[in-house]
Structures are given as C-alpha cells and as structure tokens.
C-alpha cells in the first residue's frame, strides 16, 4: 500500500498567531492605561483635599486594574466586582513589599559604604 505519512499540524503557526493576537490586545491595554493616566493627571490638578486625593488615587487604580483584569477573555465584570477588594489588598501588599525591599537595599548599601570607609583596627 502506498500510504502517505500524515504530518502533525504546525503548532508554531497557531502559537505565533496567538502571540500576535495577545500582543495586539496588550497594545490596546497600554493605550487604555495611557488614557486613564491622562485623565487622572487632569483630575489631580483640581484636587486640594487629602481625602479627595486618596479617593481619586483609588478610583484610578480601580480603573487600571479593571482594564487589566477584563483583558482576559474569560473574565467578566461580575468577576472583577467580586475580586476587586482582594485585588486592591494585593496591590497594597505588593507596593509595601516593593518599598520595603528598596528601603532595605538602600540601608544595606549605606551601611556597607560606612563599613568600607572605617579605618581598619
């Protein structure tokens, strides 16, 4: 019999198309972030009260996180509403951890420089 061997489908083509689609979606998300940040900057110019500034910051973070969250095709608005408190908690924790690491690194660097500058005994 003269059977031809079947070739497996080229998954790299499908993967490449998927990657391109994801990159395009990411570029749309970046554009959305830029728009939200621009609006935030304009609002911030008008705010004079500390409480209003905090509320505006939270509102902006919420808009940014919502855009990122909904960029997942499986996500729904209901999912975002349900998870927003946890996402905000995670955002605050991530910020605190990043600041902690930066401050610790700065202090460690200062102490190292001080130790190197001390004359040996």
Q: Are residues 69 and 94 in the same domain?
A: no
Please check whether residue 7 lies inside any domain of the structure: no
Q: Are residues 53 and 104 in the same domain?
A: no
Q: Are residues 97 and 52 in the same domain?
A: no
Please check whether residue 3 lies inside any domain of the structure: no
Using one digit for the tens of pLDDT, what is the confidence trace for 13-29? 666 777 888 888 889 89
Band of pLDDT at residue 95, cut at 50, 70 and 90? very high
Please check whether residue 6 lies inside any domain of the structure: no
Domain count, the chain: 2
> What's the rounded mean pLDDT across residues 84-93?
97
Q: What is the pLDDT of residue 107?
A: 96
Give the structural domain span for 69.
13-75
Buried/exposed 6-25: b ≥16 CB within 10 Å, e otherwise: eeeeeeeeeeeeeeeeeeee
Q: DSSP for 43-104?
A: HHHH--SHHHHHHHHHHHHHHHHHHHHHTSTT--HHHHHHHHHHHHHHHHHHHHHHHHHHHH
> What's the rounded mean pLDDT across residues 27-49?
89
Among the listed ranges 21-25, 67-71, 81-85, which one has the minimum average pLDDT value?
Answer: 21-25
Q: Give the end of a domain, one of 38, 58, 75.
A: 75
Cβ atoms of 32 and 67 within 8 Å: the answer is yes
Rounded distance, CA 49 to CA 46, Å?
10
Q: What is the pLDDT of residue 12?
A: 64
- Is pTM beyond 0.85 here? no
Cβ atoms of 40 and 60 within 8 Å: the answer is yes
> What's the rounded mean pLDDT across residues 19-41?
88
Q: Are residues 61 and 82 in the same domain?
A: no
Quickly tell me which residue has 């728009």 as its tokens.
35
């Amino acid at each position: 019999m003269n059977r031809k061997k079947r070739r497996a489908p080229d998954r790299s083509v499908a993967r490449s198309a998927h990657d391109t689609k994801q990159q395009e979606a990411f570029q749309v998300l970046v554009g959305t972030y830029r728009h939200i940040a621009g609006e935030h900057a304009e609002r911030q110019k008008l705010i004079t009260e500390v409480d209003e500034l905090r509320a505006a910051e939270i509102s902006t973070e919420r808009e940014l996180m919502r855009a990122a969250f909904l960029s997942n095709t499986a996500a729904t608005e209901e999912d975002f509403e349900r998870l927003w408190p946890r996402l905000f908690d995670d955002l605050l924790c991530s910020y605190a951890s990043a600041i902690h690491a930066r401050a610790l690194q700065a202090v460690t660097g200062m102490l190292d420089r001080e130790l190197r500058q001390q004359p040996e005994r």
